[in-house]
């Protein structure tokens, strides 16, 4: 059995040892936390977080204006050209008349038709009286029924001939109207291939006209450019320039999109329509379309206040405290920097510099 005084001494020395061990463990934990704190920054306040946005680049495409519609002017009737009312570059008036063919023979045929109708109308009136007279004679049995039927048939045939002549009259009037070669009002003459006094045959090409009141600008877009165009809300802006004129900005809309795809050029044909009145509505005006497209390098825009520079190296701090090194590509719009990194994507959140 151990002495009583030794047992008491053992109890007194055990408590200080436990305190010393606890203090050493606490110091070790604090040192480890300090080391970890040097690598991971504590989360910041909610207002200090910014979001990376995709860096955009401007792509400028060039097209040239042309008429919205173009049509060939073709004669449907034969005849000698009497008059041409418009030359190349002229705009057609309200009547729409471009050229007039000689209507002499068609007018004579119409007159003959009208004379024939008058003759048959007179004959019809005579036969109608004869029918009435013979009906009374047949009732009194002083005339044969066959004679009445014969006169009634002559009356019916005369009425049928009048109807035929009226149809011919309508046809002649329609043909006469087509001796007046017309195109839509407001269209402009692009090409003229007929002169007064010239004989015009059926199907002869007399010229070409176009509607320049609305101008089309064709573009061949890649699939990426087409998607960028579809992202534009509202009107599409075009820059129009010509020799001796200042560049002006115009609003346009998508008029046509070809559903076909050219496997050689890998382009999609798109036509934009400009309805605004210009100083000169014509083809060949140079138009530029500027599209905002994501930078193919994968760069993003980040506020300058979130980028830290140390020893000619640039760093970003994620919202969770992780630091990443980025490649500085230059200044961006609105006090931002264009940067790039392997694991840097649009939408990532970063902290501002303290």
Q: Tens-digit pLDDT profile for the chain (354 aa)?
A: 444 333 443 444 444 445 454 554 555 544 443 333 333 334 444 447 888 888 888 889 999 999 999 999 999 999 999 999 999 999 999 999 999 999 999 999 999 999 999 999 999 998 888 888 878 887 887 778 888 888 889 888 999 999 999 999 999 999 999 999 999 999 999 999 999 999 999 999 999 999 999 999 999 999 889 999 998 888 898 988 765 567 888 899 999 999 988 888 889 999 999 988 888 888 999 999 999 888 777 788 888 888 888 887 888 888 887 888 888 887 878 888 888 888 888 888 888 875
Which architecture does CATH list for 46-55+297-351? Beta Barrel (2.40)
Helix (H, G, I), strand (E, B) or coil at 270: strand
Residue 275, CA distances (Å) to 56, 215, 254, 278 in order: 30, 7, 11, 9
What CATH architecture is 60-68+210-294?
Answer: Beta Barrel (2.40)
The pLDDT value recorded for residue 354 is 56
What is the C-alpha to C-alpha distance for residues 336 and 303, in angstroms, rounded to an integer? 4
What residue ranges do the domains of the chain occupy?
Answer: 46-55+297-351, 60-68+210-294, 76-200
Within 8 A by CB and 6+ apart from 140, the residues are: none
> Is residue 306 within 8 Å of residue 350, measured between CB atoms?
yes
The pTM is what? 0.66
Strands (E), the chain: 49-51, 53-54, 56-64, 66-74, 79-84, 97-101, 180-182, 188-192, 199-200, 205-221, 236-241, 248-257, 268-274, 286-294, 300-303, 308-310, 313-317, 323-332, 336-340, 349-351
Q: How far is CA 87 from CA 92, 102, 186, in A?
A: 10, 20, 14
């Amino acid at each position: 059995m151990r002495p009583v005084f030794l047992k008491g001494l053992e109890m007194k020395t055990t408590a200080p040892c436990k305190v010393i061990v606890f203090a050493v463990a606490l110091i070790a934990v604090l040192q480890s936390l300090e080391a970890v704190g040097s690598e991971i920054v504590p989360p910041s306040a909610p207002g200090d977080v910014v979001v990376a946005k995709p860096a955009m680049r401007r792509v400028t495409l060039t097209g040239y204006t042309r008429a919205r519609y173009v049509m060939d002017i073709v004669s449907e009737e034969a005849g000698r050209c009497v008059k041409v009312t418009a030359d190349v570059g002229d705009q057609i008036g309200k009547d729409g008349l471009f050229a007039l063919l000689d209507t002499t023979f068609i007018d004579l045929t119409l007159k003959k038709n009208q004379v024939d109708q008058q003759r048959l109308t007179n004959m019809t009136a005579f036969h109608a009286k004869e029918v009435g007279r013979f009906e009374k004679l047949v009732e009194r049995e002083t005339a044969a029924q066959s004679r009445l039927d014969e006169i009634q048939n002559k009356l019916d045939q005369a009425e049928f001939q009048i109807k035929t002549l009226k149809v011919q009259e309508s046809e002649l009037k329609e043909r006469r109207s087509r001796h007046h070669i017309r195109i839509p009002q407001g269209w402009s003459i692009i090409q003229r291939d007929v002169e007064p006094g010239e004989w015009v045959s059926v199907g002869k090409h007399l010229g070409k006209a176009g509607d320049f009141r609305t101008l089309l600008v064709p573009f061949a877009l890649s699939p990426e450019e087409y998607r960028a165009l579809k992202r534009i809300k509202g009107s599409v802006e075009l820059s129009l320039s010509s020799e001796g004129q200042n560049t002006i900005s115009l609003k346009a809309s998508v008029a046509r999109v070809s559903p076909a795809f050219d496997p050689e050029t890998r382009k999609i044909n798109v036509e934009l329509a400009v309805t605004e009145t210009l100083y000169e509505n014509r083809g060949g005006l140079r138009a530029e379309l500027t599209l905002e497209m994501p930078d193919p390098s994968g760069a993003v825009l980040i506020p300058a206040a979130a980028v830290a520079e140390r020893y000619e190296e640039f760093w970003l701090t994620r919202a969770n405290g992780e630091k990443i090194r980025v490649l500085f590509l230059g200044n961006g719009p609105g006090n931002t920097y264009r940067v790039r990194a392997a694991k840097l994507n649009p939408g990532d959140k970063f902290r501002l510099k303290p």
